[in-house]
Structure 1
Amino acid sequence: MEQETITILPQAKIEEKGPVIEITGLVKSFGENNHVLKGVNLSVNKGEDLVILGRSGSGKSITIKCIVGLVLPDEGEIKVFGENVLNLPTSKLNEVRIRIGFLFQNSALYDSMTVKQNLAFTLQRHASHLTATEVENEINAVLESVGLAEAIDKMPSELSGGMRKRIALARTLILKPEIILYDEPTTGLDTITSKEISELILDIKKNNNTTSIIITHDMACARLTADRIMILKDGVIHAEGSYLELEKSEDEWVRSFFI
Protein backbone atom coordinates (compact mmCIF):
# COMPACT_ATOMS: atom_id res chain seq x y z
CA MET A 1 0.00 0.00 0.00
CA GLU A 2 1.34 3.40 -0.94
CA GLN A 3 1.69 5.53 2.16
CA GLU A 4 1.56 9.27 2.62
CA THR A 5 5.07 10.68 2.91
CA ILE A 6 4.36 14.39 3.02
CA THR A 7 4.49 16.54 6.15
CA ILE A 8 2.50 19.72 5.74
CA LEU A 9 1.66 22.81 7.75
CA PRO A 10 -1.42 25.07 7.85
CA GLN A 11 -1.40 27.92 5.35
CA ALA A 12 -3.95 30.64 4.64
CA LYS A 13 -5.43 30.59 1.15
CA ILE A 14 -4.27 33.35 -1.16
CA GLU A 15 -6.02 34.44 -4.34
CA GLU A 16 -3.87 33.67 -7.36
CA LYS A 17 -3.78 35.28 -10.79
CA GLY A 18 -2.85 33.39 -13.94
CA PRO A 19 -1.78 29.73 -14.01
CA VAL A 20 -1.60 28.00 -10.63
CA ILE A 21 0.65 25.25 -12.04
CA GLU A 22 3.42 25.88 -14.57
CA ILE A 23 5.84 23.15 -15.67
CA THR A 24 8.77 23.98 -17.93
CA GLY A 25 11.32 21.61 -19.44
CA LEU A 26 10.55 18.71 -17.09
CA VAL A 27 13.02 15.84 -17.57
CA LYS A 28 13.08 12.51 -15.72
CA SER A 29 14.96 9.30 -16.42
CA PHE A 30 15.19 6.04 -14.52
CA GLY A 31 18.59 4.56 -15.28
CA GLU A 32 20.57 5.18 -18.44
CA ASN A 33 18.06 3.83 -20.93
CA ASN A 34 14.62 4.70 -19.51
CA HIS A 35 14.09 8.35 -20.45
CA VAL A 36 10.46 8.94 -19.44
CA LEU A 37 10.06 12.73 -19.57
CA LYS A 38 12.13 14.63 -22.12
CA GLY A 39 11.03 18.23 -21.68
CA VAL A 40 7.38 18.45 -20.64
CA ASN A 41 5.82 21.92 -20.70
CA LEU A 42 2.32 22.60 -19.40
CA SER A 43 0.26 25.06 -17.40
CA VAL A 44 -3.05 24.81 -15.60
CA ASN A 45 -5.26 27.81 -14.93
CA LYS A 46 -7.18 28.40 -11.73
CA GLY A 47 -10.45 26.45 -11.73
CA GLU A 48 -9.48 24.32 -14.74
CA ASP A 49 -9.64 20.53 -15.04
CA LEU A 50 -6.73 19.41 -17.23
CA VAL A 51 -6.70 15.79 -18.39
CA ILE A 52 -3.40 14.19 -19.38
CA LEU A 53 -3.57 11.18 -21.71
CA GLY A 54 -0.82 8.89 -22.92
CA ARG A 55 0.11 5.27 -23.44
CA SER A 56 1.19 3.15 -20.47
CA GLY A 57 4.65 4.18 -19.30
CA SER A 58 4.50 7.56 -21.01
CA GLY A 59 5.14 9.46 -17.77
CA LYS A 60 1.65 10.72 -16.94
CA SER A 61 1.78 9.75 -13.26
CA ILE A 62 5.45 10.72 -12.95
CA THR A 63 4.54 14.24 -14.05
CA ILE A 64 2.07 14.85 -11.22
CA LYS A 65 4.25 13.07 -8.66
CA CYS A 66 6.99 15.57 -9.48
CA ILE A 67 4.62 18.42 -8.59
CA VAL A 68 4.35 17.31 -4.95
CA GLY A 69 7.88 15.96 -4.58
CA LEU A 70 7.04 12.24 -4.59
CA VAL A 71 9.46 12.01 -7.53
CA LEU A 72 12.35 14.42 -8.07
CA PRO A 73 12.95 15.47 -11.71
CA ASP A 74 16.39 15.56 -13.27
CA GLU A 75 15.80 18.93 -14.92
CA GLY A 76 13.10 21.55 -15.28
CA GLU A 77 11.05 24.03 -13.32
CA ILE A 78 7.76 23.48 -11.51
CA LYS A 79 5.88 26.53 -10.28
CA VAL A 80 2.86 26.10 -8.02
CA PHE A 81 1.04 29.27 -6.94
CA GLY A 82 3.97 31.16 -8.48
CA GLU A 83 6.61 29.40 -6.35
CA ASN A 84 9.31 27.23 -7.91
CA VAL A 85 8.76 24.23 -5.65
CA LEU A 86 12.05 22.59 -6.63
CA ASN A 87 14.02 25.41 -5.00
CA LEU A 88 11.94 25.94 -1.86
CA PRO A 89 13.23 25.11 1.63
CA THR A 90 11.25 22.38 3.38
CA SER A 91 9.18 24.78 5.50
CA LYS A 92 8.04 26.78 2.45
CA LEU A 93 7.46 23.63 0.39
CA ASN A 94 5.19 22.28 3.12
CA GLU A 95 3.14 25.49 2.98
CA VAL A 96 2.52 24.83 -0.72
CA ARG A 97 1.81 21.13 -0.21
CA ILE A 98 -0.99 21.79 2.29
CA ARG A 99 -2.90 23.36 -0.59
CA ILE A 100 -2.60 20.28 -2.84
CA GLY A 101 -4.56 17.02 -2.62
CA PHE A 102 -3.37 13.81 -4.27
CA LEU A 103 -5.65 10.88 -5.10
CA PHE A 104 -3.51 7.76 -5.46
CA GLN A 105 -4.39 5.18 -8.11
CA ASN A 106 -4.82 2.41 -5.51
CA SER A 107 -6.63 4.74 -3.04
CA ALA A 108 -3.85 4.09 -0.43
CA LEU A 109 -6.21 3.69 2.52
CA TYR A 110 -4.80 2.31 5.76
CA ASP A 111 -6.20 -1.22 5.86
CA SER A 112 -5.97 -1.55 9.65
CA MET A 113 -8.09 1.57 10.25
CA THR A 114 -11.82 2.19 9.85
CA VAL A 115 -13.02 4.84 7.45
CA LYS A 116 -13.40 7.25 10.36
CA GLN A 117 -9.91 6.51 11.62
CA ASN A 118 -8.42 6.99 8.13
CA LEU A 119 -9.96 10.46 7.93
CA ALA A 120 -9.19 11.37 11.53
CA PHE A 121 -5.55 10.33 11.08
CA THR A 122 -5.19 12.75 8.18
CA LEU A 123 -6.61 15.62 10.24
CA GLN A 124 -4.49 14.73 13.27
CA ARG A 125 -1.34 14.86 11.15
CA HIS A 126 -2.10 17.99 9.22
CA ALA A 127 -4.72 19.96 11.20
CA SER A 128 -3.80 19.22 14.80
CA HIS A 129 -5.30 22.53 15.96
CA LEU A 130 -8.83 21.13 15.54
CA THR A 131 -10.78 19.98 18.59
CA ALA A 132 -12.26 16.48 18.81
CA THR A 133 -15.70 17.89 18.05
CA GLU A 134 -14.38 19.78 15.03
CA VAL A 135 -12.66 16.63 13.74
CA GLU A 136 -15.94 14.72 14.10
CA ASN A 137 -17.84 17.43 12.25
CA GLU A 138 -15.29 17.56 9.42
CA ILE A 139 -15.41 13.78 8.98
CA ASN A 140 -19.21 13.69 8.88
CA ALA A 141 -19.36 16.59 6.41
CA VAL A 142 -16.82 15.16 3.98
CA LEU A 143 -18.43 11.70 4.03
CA GLU A 144 -21.76 13.33 3.21
CA SER A 145 -20.13 15.14 0.31
CA VAL A 146 -19.03 11.85 -1.28
CA GLY A 147 -22.28 10.06 -0.43
CA LEU A 148 -20.86 7.57 2.06
CA ALA A 149 -21.91 8.75 5.50
CA GLU A 150 -23.08 5.22 6.30
CA ALA A 151 -19.57 3.79 5.75
CA ILE A 152 -17.97 5.68 8.65
CA ASP A 153 -17.31 2.59 10.79
CA LYS A 154 -16.45 0.15 7.98
CA MET A 155 -12.99 -1.25 7.30
CA PRO A 156 -11.46 -0.72 3.82
CA SER A 157 -11.76 -4.48 3.20
CA GLU A 158 -15.54 -4.15 3.52
CA LEU A 159 -15.75 -1.54 0.76
CA SER A 160 -16.20 -2.02 -2.98
CA GLY A 161 -13.65 -0.52 -5.36
CA GLY A 162 -15.89 2.48 -6.02
CA MET A 163 -16.49 3.04 -2.31
CA ARG A 164 -12.75 2.89 -1.60
CA LYS A 165 -12.19 5.52 -4.27
CA ARG A 166 -14.84 7.76 -2.74
CA ILE A 167 -13.30 7.41 0.73
CA ALA A 168 -9.89 8.23 -0.72
CA LEU A 169 -11.46 11.32 -2.27
CA ALA A 170 -12.98 12.20 1.08
CA ARG A 171 -9.55 11.94 2.69
CA THR A 172 -8.17 14.25 0.01
CA LEU A 173 -11.02 16.75 0.41
CA ILE A 174 -10.94 16.89 4.19
CA LEU A 175 -7.93 19.22 4.09
CA LYS A 176 -9.78 21.53 1.65
CA PRO A 177 -7.11 21.60 -1.07
CA GLU A 178 -7.11 24.19 -3.83
CA ILE A 179 -5.45 21.79 -6.28
CA ILE A 180 -6.28 18.09 -6.65
CA LEU A 181 -4.06 15.70 -8.61
CA TYR A 182 -5.98 12.59 -9.68
CA ASP A 183 -3.90 9.54 -10.61
CA GLU A 184 -6.14 7.20 -12.67
CA PRO A 185 -9.29 7.91 -10.60
CA THR A 186 -11.45 5.32 -12.42
CA THR A 187 -8.97 2.52 -12.99
CA GLY A 188 -10.30 -0.94 -12.15
CA LEU A 189 -13.89 0.25 -11.85
CA ASP A 190 -16.91 -0.84 -13.89
CA THR A 191 -18.48 1.55 -16.39
CA ILE A 192 -21.29 2.76 -14.11
CA THR A 193 -19.01 3.31 -11.10
CA SER A 194 -16.44 5.05 -13.30
CA LYS A 195 -19.10 7.48 -14.45
CA GLU A 196 -20.12 8.12 -10.84
CA ILE A 197 -16.52 8.94 -9.90
CA SER A 198 -16.17 11.22 -12.94
CA GLU A 199 -19.36 13.04 -11.95
CA LEU A 200 -18.04 13.35 -8.40
CA ILE A 201 -14.90 15.01 -9.77
CA LEU A 202 -17.14 17.56 -11.49
CA ASP A 203 -19.12 18.11 -8.28
CA ILE A 204 -15.90 18.67 -6.34
CA LYS A 205 -14.80 21.31 -8.84
CA LYS A 206 -18.19 23.03 -8.71
CA ASN A 207 -18.55 22.97 -4.92
CA ASN A 208 -14.93 23.65 -3.97
CA ASN A 209 -13.61 25.70 -6.92
CA THR A 210 -10.65 23.34 -7.24
CA THR A 211 -8.02 23.21 -9.97
CA SER A 212 -7.20 19.69 -11.12
CA ILE A 213 -4.90 17.54 -13.20
CA ILE A 214 -6.52 14.21 -14.04
CA ILE A 215 -4.32 11.36 -15.24
CA THR A 216 -6.44 8.77 -17.02
CA HIS A 217 -6.70 6.26 -19.84
CA ASP A 218 -10.50 6.23 -19.46
CA MET A 219 -11.83 8.22 -22.40
CA ALA A 220 -15.34 8.44 -20.91
CA CYS A 221 -13.80 10.09 -17.83
CA ALA A 222 -11.76 12.41 -20.06
CA ARG A 223 -14.80 13.42 -22.09
CA LEU A 224 -16.85 14.17 -19.00
CA THR A 225 -14.27 15.97 -16.85
CA ALA A 226 -11.81 17.72 -19.16
CA ASP A 227 -11.80 21.43 -19.82
CA ARG A 228 -8.64 20.76 -21.80
CA ILE A 229 -6.65 17.65 -22.76
CA MET A 230 -2.92 17.16 -23.27
CA ILE A 231 -1.45 13.98 -24.75
CA LEU A 232 2.04 12.77 -23.86
CA LYS A 233 4.14 11.01 -26.50
CA ASP A 234 7.85 10.22 -26.45
CA GLY A 235 8.38 12.23 -23.28
CA VAL A 236 6.83 15.51 -24.42
CA ILE A 237 3.36 17.02 -24.90
CA HIS A 238 2.43 15.91 -28.40
CA ALA A 239 -1.08 17.41 -28.71
CA GLU A 240 -3.39 19.75 -26.82
CA GLY A 241 -7.00 20.81 -27.19
CA SER A 242 -10.58 20.10 -26.20
CA TYR A 243 -12.00 16.59 -26.41
CA LEU A 244 -13.86 17.44 -29.62
CA GLU A 245 -10.83 19.13 -31.20
CA LEU A 246 -8.53 16.19 -30.53
CA GLU A 247 -11.15 13.66 -31.56
CA LYS A 248 -11.16 15.31 -35.00
CA SER A 249 -7.39 15.76 -35.19
CA GLU A 250 -5.63 15.13 -38.49
CA ASP A 251 -2.97 13.28 -36.50
CA GLU A 252 -3.81 9.59 -36.80
CA TRP A 253 -1.97 8.72 -33.57
CA VAL A 254 -3.98 11.33 -31.63
CA ARG A 255 -7.27 10.09 -33.10
CA SER A 256 -6.42 6.54 -32.02
CA PHE A 257 -7.21 7.50 -28.41
CA PHE A 258 -10.79 8.35 -29.39
CA ILE A 259 -11.72 5.20 -31.29
Structure 2
Amino acid sequence: MIQEKTNTDSQTATNKNVPVIEIKDLYKSFGKNEVLKGINLSVNKGENLVILGRSGSGKSITIKCLVGLVVADKGEIKVFDTDITKIDTNELNEIRIRIGFLFQNAALYDSMSVRENLGFTLKRHVKGLSPKELELEIREVLENVGLADAIDKMPSELSGGMRKRIGLARTLILKPEIVLYDEPTTGLDTITSREISELLLDIQKKNKTTSIIITHDMACAKHTSDRLMILKDGVIHAEGSYEELEKSDDEWVRSFFS
Protein backbone atom coordinates (compact mmCIF):
# COMPACT_ATOMS: atom_id res chain seq x y z
CA MET A 1 0.00 0.00 0.00
CA ILE A 2 1.31 3.42 -0.96
CA GLN A 3 1.10 6.18 1.61
CA GLU A 4 2.08 9.57 0.26
CA LYS A 5 2.18 12.93 1.98
CA THR A 6 -0.71 15.15 1.04
CA ASN A 7 -0.36 18.75 -0.10
CA THR A 8 -3.53 20.69 0.68
CA ASP A 9 -4.62 24.28 0.45
CA SER A 10 -4.52 26.63 3.43
CA GLN A 11 -8.13 26.05 4.40
CA THR A 12 -7.67 22.29 4.62
CA ALA A 13 -4.38 22.70 6.47
CA THR A 14 -6.13 24.90 9.01
CA ASN A 15 -8.71 22.18 9.58
CA LYS A 16 -6.33 19.21 9.45
CA ASN A 17 -7.17 18.19 13.00
CA VAL A 18 -10.93 18.42 12.50
CA PRO A 19 -12.09 15.24 10.72
CA VAL A 20 -15.85 15.16 10.12
CA ILE A 21 -15.75 11.68 8.57
CA GLU A 22 -13.70 8.75 9.90
CA ILE A 23 -13.98 5.20 8.59
CA LYS A 24 -12.02 2.39 10.24
CA ASP A 25 -11.71 -1.24 9.12
CA LEU A 26 -14.86 -1.17 6.99
CA TYR A 27 -15.91 -4.52 5.52
CA LYS A 28 -18.82 -5.32 3.21
CA SER A 29 -19.64 -8.46 1.26
CA PHE A 30 -22.55 -9.44 -0.93
CA GLY A 31 -22.76 -13.21 -0.67
CA LYS A 32 -19.31 -14.52 -1.54
CA ASN A 33 -18.31 -11.26 -3.20
CA GLU A 34 -16.06 -9.34 -0.79
CA VAL A 35 -16.26 -5.73 -1.92
CA LEU A 36 -14.70 -3.82 0.98
CA LYS A 37 -11.90 -5.54 2.90
CA GLY A 38 -10.87 -3.04 5.53
CA ILE A 39 -11.34 0.51 4.27
CA ASN A 40 -9.70 3.21 6.37
CA LEU A 41 -10.14 6.89 5.56
CA SER A 42 -10.84 10.26 7.09
CA VAL A 43 -12.03 13.53 5.61
CA ASN A 44 -11.25 16.89 7.16
CA LYS A 45 -13.65 19.77 7.56
CA GLY A 46 -13.85 21.77 4.34
CA GLU A 47 -11.90 19.21 2.29
CA ASN A 48 -12.73 17.70 -1.09
CA LEU A 49 -11.66 14.04 -1.13
CA VAL A 50 -11.82 12.27 -4.49
CA ILE A 51 -12.02 8.47 -4.53
CA LEU A 52 -10.89 6.64 -7.66
CA GLY A 53 -10.99 2.96 -8.55
CA ARG A 54 -11.92 0.53 -11.30
CA SER A 55 -15.55 -0.44 -11.79
CA GLY A 56 -16.72 -2.72 -8.99
CA SER A 57 -13.96 -1.62 -6.62
CA GLY A 58 -16.44 -0.47 -3.97
CA LYS A 59 -16.35 3.31 -4.35
CA SER A 60 -20.11 3.80 -4.36
CA ILE A 61 -20.63 1.14 -1.68
CA THR A 62 -18.27 3.06 0.59
CA ILE A 63 -20.31 6.25 0.49
CA LYS A 64 -23.59 4.35 0.70
CA CYS A 65 -22.33 2.76 3.91
CA LEU A 66 -21.47 6.26 5.09
CA VAL A 67 -25.14 7.31 5.05
CA GLY A 68 -26.59 3.93 6.02
CA LEU A 69 -28.06 3.12 2.60
CA VAL A 70 -25.95 -0.05 2.77
CA VAL A 71 -25.32 -1.70 6.13
CA ALA A 72 -21.67 -2.51 6.77
CA ASP A 73 -20.70 -6.01 7.89
CA LYS A 74 -18.01 -4.71 10.19
CA GLY A 75 -16.18 -1.50 11.00
CA GLU A 76 -16.56 1.95 12.48
CA ILE A 77 -18.13 4.82 10.54
CA LYS A 78 -17.95 8.13 12.40
CA VAL A 79 -19.78 11.14 11.01
CA PHE A 80 -19.68 14.32 13.09
CA ASP A 81 -17.99 12.19 15.76
CA THR A 82 -20.93 9.75 15.95
CA ASP A 83 -20.55 6.09 14.95
CA ILE A 84 -23.57 5.57 12.68
CA THR A 85 -23.26 1.78 12.99
CA LYS A 86 -24.32 2.07 16.65
CA ILE A 87 -27.31 4.41 16.50
CA ASP A 88 -31.03 3.94 15.85
CA THR A 89 -32.97 5.06 12.78
CA ASN A 90 -34.12 8.37 14.29
CA GLU A 91 -30.55 9.36 15.21
CA LEU A 92 -29.34 8.28 11.77
CA ASN A 93 -32.00 10.41 10.07
CA GLU A 94 -30.87 13.46 12.08
CA ILE A 95 -27.36 12.98 10.73
CA ARG A 96 -28.58 12.33 7.18
CA ILE A 97 -30.26 15.75 7.11
CA ARG A 98 -26.79 17.26 7.47
CA ILE A 99 -25.49 15.23 4.49
CA GLY A 100 -26.32 15.83 0.82
CA PHE A 101 -26.11 12.97 -1.68
CA LEU A 102 -25.99 13.58 -5.43
CA PHE A 103 -26.79 10.38 -7.31
CA GLN A 104 -25.47 9.62 -10.80
CA ASN A 105 -28.85 10.18 -12.50
CA ALA A 106 -29.81 13.24 -10.38
CA ALA A 107 -32.91 11.24 -9.23
CA LEU A 108 -35.49 13.95 -10.02
CA TYR A 109 -39.21 13.25 -9.88
CA ASP A 110 -40.24 13.28 -13.54
CA SER A 111 -43.87 14.24 -12.78
CA MET A 112 -42.83 17.38 -10.87
CA SER A 113 -41.52 20.70 -12.15
CA VAL A 114 -38.16 22.00 -10.96
CA ARG A 115 -39.96 24.20 -8.41
CA GLU A 116 -41.98 21.22 -7.16
CA ASN A 117 -38.93 18.95 -6.96
CA LEU A 118 -37.09 21.44 -4.79
CA GLY A 119 -40.13 22.41 -2.75
CA PHE A 120 -41.00 18.78 -2.01
CA THR A 121 -37.55 18.16 -0.54
CA LEU A 122 -37.60 21.34 1.54
CA LYS A 123 -41.14 20.89 2.91
CA ARG A 124 -40.36 17.30 3.85
CA HIS A 125 -37.50 18.29 6.13
CA VAL A 126 -38.19 21.89 7.17
CA LYS A 127 -41.53 22.53 8.84
CA GLY A 128 -43.39 25.82 9.11
CA LEU A 129 -42.09 27.61 6.02
CA SER A 130 -44.49 30.11 4.51
CA PRO A 131 -45.10 30.00 0.72
CA LYS A 132 -43.00 33.16 0.38
CA GLU A 133 -40.11 31.69 2.39
CA LEU A 134 -40.30 28.47 0.35
CA GLU A 135 -40.16 30.40 -2.92
CA LEU A 136 -37.18 32.46 -1.74
CA GLU A 137 -35.24 29.33 -0.75
CA ILE A 138 -35.96 27.68 -4.10
CA ARG A 139 -34.95 30.73 -6.11
CA GLU A 140 -31.78 31.23 -4.09
CA VAL A 141 -30.53 27.69 -4.61
CA LEU A 142 -31.35 27.85 -8.33
CA GLU A 143 -29.32 31.06 -8.57
CA ASN A 144 -26.43 29.23 -6.89
CA VAL A 145 -26.39 26.55 -9.62
CA GLY A 146 -27.02 29.05 -12.43
CA LEU A 147 -30.51 27.87 -13.40
CA ALA A 148 -32.94 30.45 -12.05
CA ASP A 149 -34.77 30.47 -15.41
CA ALA A 150 -35.50 26.73 -15.19
CA ILE A 151 -37.82 27.00 -12.19
CA ASP A 152 -40.99 26.05 -14.11
CA LYS A 153 -39.45 23.45 -16.43
CA MET A 154 -40.13 19.72 -16.22
CA PRO A 155 -37.18 17.29 -15.95
CA SER A 156 -37.91 16.05 -19.49
CA GLU A 157 -37.16 19.57 -20.78
CA LEU A 158 -33.70 19.65 -19.21
CA SER A 159 -30.39 18.63 -20.75
CA GLY A 160 -28.15 16.16 -18.91
CA GLY A 161 -26.04 18.98 -17.50
CA MET A 162 -29.12 20.89 -16.37
CA ARG A 163 -30.51 17.80 -14.65
CA LYS A 164 -27.23 17.44 -12.77
CA ARG A 165 -27.45 21.07 -11.68
CA ILE A 166 -31.05 20.71 -10.52
CA GLY A 167 -30.16 17.50 -8.70
CA LEU A 168 -27.37 19.42 -7.02
CA ALA A 169 -29.76 22.26 -6.16
CA ARG A 170 -32.10 19.78 -4.51
CA THR A 171 -29.17 18.44 -2.52
CA LEU A 172 -28.04 21.92 -1.47
CA ILE A 173 -31.45 23.30 -0.51
CA LEU A 174 -31.15 21.67 2.93
CA LYS A 175 -27.76 23.38 3.42
CA PRO A 176 -25.79 20.18 4.11
CA GLU A 177 -22.42 20.27 5.85
CA ILE A 178 -21.22 17.20 3.91
CA VAL A 179 -21.94 16.47 0.25
CA LEU A 180 -21.36 13.06 -1.34
CA TYR A 181 -21.08 13.06 -5.13
CA ASP A 182 -21.48 9.79 -7.04
CA GLU A 183 -20.04 10.28 -10.56
CA PRO A 184 -21.15 13.94 -10.89
CA THR A 185 -19.91 14.29 -14.49
CA THR A 186 -20.86 10.88 -15.92
CA GLY A 187 -22.53 11.09 -19.33
CA LEU A 188 -21.73 14.76 -19.84
CA ASP A 189 -19.70 16.35 -22.62
CA THR A 190 -16.29 17.83 -21.85
CA ILE A 191 -17.46 21.44 -21.55
CA THR A 192 -20.44 20.60 -19.31
CA SER A 193 -18.26 18.33 -17.17
CA ARG A 194 -15.88 21.24 -16.65
CA GLU A 195 -18.79 23.49 -15.67
CA ILE A 196 -20.01 20.94 -13.11
CA SER A 197 -16.48 20.59 -11.71
CA GLU A 198 -16.28 24.39 -11.36
CA LEU A 199 -19.65 24.35 -9.61
CA LEU A 200 -18.44 21.77 -7.08
CA LEU A 201 -15.54 24.06 -6.19
CA ASP A 202 -17.81 27.10 -5.96
CA ILE A 203 -20.08 25.20 -3.55
CA GLN A 204 -17.13 24.14 -1.41
CA LYS A 205 -15.88 27.72 -1.14
CA LYS A 206 -19.26 29.39 -0.67
CA ASN A 207 -20.85 26.90 1.73
CA LYS A 208 -17.64 25.55 3.31
CA THR A 209 -18.85 22.01 2.65
CA THR A 210 -16.87 18.83 3.17
CA SER A 211 -17.13 16.50 0.18
CA ILE A 212 -16.37 13.01 -1.08
CA ILE A 213 -16.40 12.80 -4.86
CA ILE A 214 -16.58 9.40 -6.59
CA THR A 215 -15.49 9.73 -10.19
CA HIS A 216 -13.88 8.10 -13.23
CA ASP A 217 -13.34 11.55 -14.75
CA MET A 218 -9.69 12.43 -14.22
CA ALA A 219 -10.24 16.03 -15.33
CA CYS A 220 -12.87 16.36 -12.60
CA ALA A 221 -10.54 14.67 -10.10
CA LYS A 222 -7.70 17.04 -10.91
CA HIS A 223 -9.89 20.12 -10.81
CA THR A 224 -11.84 19.43 -7.61
CA SER A 225 -9.58 17.36 -5.34
CA ASP A 226 -7.65 18.47 -2.30
CA ARG A 227 -6.65 14.83 -1.91
CA LEU A 228 -7.08 11.57 -3.83
CA MET A 229 -7.51 7.98 -2.69
CA ILE A 230 -7.44 4.97 -5.02
CA LEU A 231 -9.26 1.75 -4.14
CA LYS A 232 -7.89 -1.61 -5.19
CA ASP A 233 -8.97 -5.09 -4.05
CA GLY A 234 -11.22 -3.68 -1.34
CA VAL A 235 -8.67 -1.43 0.39
CA ILE A 236 -7.17 2.03 -0.07
CA HIS A 237 -4.13 1.29 -2.24
CA ALA A 238 -2.79 4.82 -2.71
CA GLU A 239 -3.31 8.26 -1.25
CA GLY A 240 -1.95 11.71 -2.05
CA SER A 241 -2.42 14.81 -4.15
CA TYR A 242 -3.17 14.53 -7.87
CA GLU A 243 0.37 15.60 -8.72
CA GLU A 244 1.95 13.10 -6.31
CA LEU A 245 -0.04 10.12 -7.53
CA GLU A 246 0.46 11.08 -11.18
CA LYS A 247 4.22 10.64 -10.57
CA SER A 248 3.88 7.51 -8.40
CA ASP A 249 6.42 4.69 -8.68
CA ASP A 250 3.47 2.29 -8.79
CA GLU A 251 2.68 1.52 -12.43
CA TRP A 252 -0.94 0.56 -11.62
CA VAL A 253 -1.51 3.90 -9.90
CA ARG A 254 -0.01 5.82 -12.83
CA SER A 255 -2.34 3.97 -15.21
CA PHE A 256 -5.22 6.14 -13.95
CA PHE A 257 -3.43 9.24 -15.23
CA SER A 258 -2.44 8.06 -18.69
So what's the TM-score if we normalise by structure 1?
0.93
Mapped contact 1:19–1:45 kept (Cα < 8 A): yes
Alpha carbons of 1:176 and 1:54: their partners in 2 closer, same or farther (altered >3 Å)? same
C-alpha displacement of 1:90: 1.9
Query: C-alpha distance in 2, partners of 1:232/1:93?
Result: 26
Q: Which residue of 2 aligns with 1:30?
A: 30
Equivalent pair of 2:16/2:44 in contact (CA under 8 Å): no
% identical equivalent positions? 76
Counterpart check, 1:222 vs 2:221:
yes
1:11 equivalent in structure 2: none
Structure 1 segments, 4+ long, off by >2 Å, are none
Counterpart residue number, 2:243: 244
Maintained 8 Å contact 1:16/1:81: no
Alignment of 1:92-171 (within 5 A): 92-171=91-170
Alpha-carbon shift at residue 16 of structure 1 (Å): 11
- Shift of residue 89, structure 1, vs aligned partner: 1.7
Q: In structure 2, how many angstroms separate the alpha carbons of the residues matched to 1:162 and 1:138?
A: 22
Contact 1:247/1:258 (<8 A) preserved: yes
Give the match for residue 89 of structure 1.
88
C-alpha deviations, 1:16-46, integer Å up to 9, x for none? Answer: 96200000011111112x1110100000000
Asked if the contact 1:47/1:205 (under 8 Å) is kept, the reply is yes
Structure-1 separation of matches of 2:25 and 2:239: 17
1:220 and 1:24 mapped to 2: Cα distance?
A: 29
Superposed counterparts of 1:196-215, under 5 Å: 196-215=195-214
SS in 2 for 1:164: helix
Mapped to 2, the partners of 1:19 and 1:110 lie a distance apart of 34
Structure 1 residue 167: deviation in Å?
A: 0.1
**1 CA distance for matches of 2:16 and 2:123?**
28
For 1:61 and 1:227, the matched residues in 2 are separated by 19
* 1:157 positional shift: 0.6
* Structure 1 residue 129 displacement after superposition: 2.4
Given that residues 52 and 229 in structure 1 are in contact (C-alpha distance below 8 angstroms), is that contact kept between their aligned partners in structure 2?
yes
For the residues of structure 1 that align with 2:62 and 2:48, how far apart are their CA atoms?
16
Alignment partners' CA distance in 2, 1:129 and 1:258: 50
- Residue 91 of structure 1 and its aligned partner are, at CA, apart by 2.1
Q: Distance in 2 between matches of 1:105 and 1:91?
A: 27
Give the gaps of 5 or more residues in structure 2: 1-14
Alignment length, in residue pairs? 244
CA distance in 1, matches of 2:154, 2:30: 36
What's 1:4 paired with?
none
Give 5+ residue unaligned stretches, structure 1. 1-14
Q: Distance in 2 between matches of 1:16 and 1:80?
A: 16
Do the aligned residues in 2 keep the contact of 1:183 with 1:216 (CA within 8 Å)?
yes
Provide the TM-score with structure 2 as the length reference: 0.93
Which residue identity lines up with residue 40 of structure 1 in the other structure? I
2:19 counterpart residue number:
19
Question: What's the RMSD between the two structures over aligned residues?
Answer: 1.2
Matches for 1:153-192 after TM superposition, within 5 Å: 153-192=152-191
Mapped partners of 1:71, 1:218: distance in 2 = 24
